Amino acid sequence: MNRSVMVLYICNFVFIGMLPLSFFKRDGRFNLMWLLTSAPFFACSIFLFGIFFGLINPAEKIRSEWGTLLDIATVPFSVASIALLCFTVGTHRIPLALWHQTNDAPQHIVTYGPYRWVRHPFYVSFLLALGGMFIYYPHLTTLITLSYGIVMLNGTADREEKRLCGSEFGTEYADYMKRTGRFVPRWKGSTL
């Protein structure tokens, strides 16, 4: 296994893991929903560290036959994830709410920067990391974490959007939803 690619993914997951501690508002506390949503990132991190320190045997047949190709194919996912995280963090002038807390209420709607293309750029970057991890190490564990991450982040995005539509910014957000995709950019004429 390519150690450089592994270190890139470890850095990617550490960056994701640091967001709640360094960027998001801390006016609430981490609750069960936050833990359930963050579970695939913890699982991938533990899995990576297990491989890195030799606690998990990486001698999978697919890695031995396709290892170099998988290493090359996965790097853009992690690089895009880290770049999108940086771009999204740089877009915000104030820390964001964690959205899993009962007292979260929108203070404004952000529709510029990466939000011009997708409504949830943080989640897109998280999914890029999980998808790239599956490509890097195609294993039942990484497939489960990717699938679980997609379901949990989609559910969280849905709850956020319902809360935003019911807020004082509801009309503005509904218009924004019509022109911007949730996780995939919406091109003119597209219904994604």
Give per-residue pLDDT as tens, 73-121. 999 999 999 999 999 988 887 666 655 556 566 677 888 999 999 999 9
pLDDT at 149: 94
- What's the pTM value of the predicted model, to 2 decimals? 0.86
Dihedrals φ, ψ of 66, to 5°? -120, 10
Domain spans in the chain, listed from the N-terminal domain onward: 3-179
Share of the chain above pLDDT 90, in %: 40
How many H helices and E strands in the chain? 6, 0
Count Cβ atoms below 10 Å from residue 108 Cβ, excluding itself. 9
Give domain 3-179's CATH architecture: Up-down Bundle (1.20)
Mean pLDDT throughout 142-153? Answer: 94
Q: Are 117 and 185 in contact (CB under 8 A)?
A: yes
* Dist. CA 107–CA 164, nearest whole Å: 10
State the average pLDDT over residues 43-70.
77
Nearest CA among 55, 57, 51, 65 for reference residue 133: 51
